[in-house]
Amino acid sequence: MTCVRVLTGIKPSGTPHLGNYVGAIRPTVRASRQAGVDSYLFLADYHALISTHDPARVQRSTLEIAATWIACGLDPQRVTFYRQSDIPEIPELTWLLACVCGKGLLNRAHAYKAAVDKNLADGRDADDGITMGLFMYPVLMAADILMFNAHRVPVGRDQIQHIEMARDLAASFNHLYGEHFTLPEAVIDEQVATLPGLDGRKMSKSYDNVIPLFAPREQLRRLIMGIVTDSRAPGEPKETEGSALFQIYQAFATADETAALARDFAAGIAWAEAKERLFERIDREIAPMRATYDELMAHPERVEAYLRAGAAKARAQASPFMARLRHAVGLRPLDTQPAPTSAGAASAAKPAAPVFKQYREADGRFYFKLTDAKGHVLLQSQGFANGREAGQAVARLKAQGWAACLDLHALVHALVPNHEIEAALQRLRET
Ligand code: AMP
């Protein structure tokens, strides 16, 4: 059977909460058990270094998150479960990709742009406090994905742009050095619930409203008793709509159990009783996993052994693949014959028809890019307020060429020399 390779990175930052469990851990573990799915799950510890410089925290968090995933049912025998920093081929690939990545592509990455915008709004230098780690993060992420030629990468909407960049880098590399990389696709799971926290807003560390996934039973009970409710007295009917308590219950209960609680809300169940029922329901699901988690936390050497075995499995693929890529770019032993096609792989190819691709991103703005037939990005626009403006810019570029549209240069980044863009636009006019 052909397998779909699905890759998920988990950043070891902080202690997982019920929202992470419902929104990320539980669906990913379920998906990894499906037939025909070959799952790659990794602890993105290089990524963690972007946001923390506290070594003890990185180590502790890596242990906590790895133990969490195993406790939640991830089967390390079945999936490839590894720590990013155990795979030296990943930073090596990051460099190869950096060398085919236009700087302009990274200038428009959301996380970097947001950091620049914040600096400017606060009256600071645009790049104040921004590390190359943050700037290069999409290239490292592309290396994570392309190293294993993943077909699918489940992500939140805010990450779609990074998958698009991984595709662009893969296409640029393939264009220069031959077909090595599969172009990955982002998968957005619309079904996954967003769990509210203690105060009714999205459960999030930044709102300080979280319930830790593996809080001891009594602490879990105490936290659940603190979930915000309205002031309706026992006996008064209660609304399920907008009730954080009800939504959290729904994320754990069966359809029948949820329907029963809805009936009890209408019949005026006391809040304390509803909370007790929620507590028991969650604890029923979590308690067996909590026991495994506590056991693993007490034995870090077991978690380490799982990760080392996973790294060996991952490197069995990464290492020969990296050798092939090194050869492709010309990092070769000096006593091997140069491959006759190496210099001419791109130039020998027939001139391919370029295409303009227009699309809308999660920020609601309209973008376009010009790529050659192999997907190599030649021009990349910034966001336009509406599709008409983006379409007009495309039409002008097609009709007039790049040099004649000077006013567009502030809105459209050239990722290759100007003469290549002119040649592509000329080809477009001829086809
Ligand atoms: P974070 O802790 O924000 O880095 O999130 C890690 C993963 O958990 C991401 O896949 C998030 O989408 C998911 N997640 C975080 N908070 C929630 C929440 N309140 N409800 C559902 N999913 C969440």
Q: What is the dihedral of CA 19, 25, 26, 31, to 10 degrees?
A: 140
Cα of 189 vs centre of ligand 1, distance in Å, is 13
pLDDT of residue 251: 94
pLDDT of residue 348: 46
List residues bridging with 380 in a β-sheet: 369, 413
CA 203 to ligand 1: nearest atom: 19
Q: Where do the structural domains in the chain lie, given as residue ranges?
A: 4-193+299-342, 214-297, 350-430
pLDDT of residue 342: 47
Check if 195 has its Cβ closer than 6 Å to any atom of ligand 1: yes
pLDDT of residue 138: 97
Cα of 69 vs centre of ligand 1, distance in Å, is 14
CA 20 to ligand 1: nearest atom: 8
Cα dist. 188→157, 159, 398 in Å?
A: 7, 10, 33
Check if 24 has its Cβ closer than 6 Å to any atom of ligand 1: yes
Has domain 214-297 been given CATH number 1.10.240.10?
A: yes
pLDDT of residue 1: 57
Q: Which two tokens stand for residue 336?
A: 């091997």
CA 193 to ligand 1: nearest atom: 21
Q: One digit per residue, pLDDT tens: the chain, 431 residues? A: 578 999 999 999 888 999 999 988 999 999 999 999 999 999 999 999 999 999 999 999 999 999 999 999 999 999 999 999 999 999 999 999 999 999 999 999 999 999 999 999 999 999 999 999 999 999 999 999 999 999 999 988 888 999 999 999 999 999 999 999 999 999 987 777 789 999 999 999 889 999 999 999 999 999 999 999 999 999 999 999 999 999 999 999 999 999 999 999 999 999 999 999 999 999 999 999 999 999 999 999 999 999 999 999 999 999 999 999 999 999 999 987 765 554 445 544 445 689 999 988 878 889 999 998 777 889 999 889 999 999 999 999 998 888 888 888 888 888 888 888 888 898 888 87
List residues bridging with 412 in a β-sheet: 381
Asked if residues 161 and 362 have their Cβ atoms less than 8 Å apart, the reply is yes
Q: Domain 4-193+299-342: what homologous superfamily?
A: HUPs (3.40.50.620)
Q: What is the dihedral of CA 215, 50, 60, 206, to 10 degrees?
A: -20
Q: Is 229 left (phi over 0), alpha (psi -120 to 50) or beta?
A: beta
> Using CA positions, which residue lies closest to atom 2 of ligand 1?
20
pLDDT of residue 431: 77
d(CA 383, CA 386): 9
Cα of 65 vs centre of ligand 1, distance in Å, is 13
Cα dist. 111→50, 115, 117, 139, 372 in Å?
A: 12, 6, 10, 13, 27
d(CA 412, CA 254): 51
Q: Which two tokens stand for residue 176?
A: 């220069």
d(CA 55, CA 51): 12
Strands 37-43 and 4-10 turn out to be parallel
pLDDT of residue 349: 46
Given ligand 1 and candidates 20, 43, 153, 190, which is best to mutate, with the most ligand atoms within 8 Å of its CB?
A: 20
Cα dist. 318→91, 97, 101, 142, 236 in Å?
A: 12, 15, 21, 14, 62
Q: Domain 350-430: what homologous superfamily?
A: YegP-like (3.30.160.160)
Query: If you search the block for the tokens 């600096």, which residue do you land on?
Result: 119
pLDDT of residue 194: 87
pLDDT of residue 130: 97
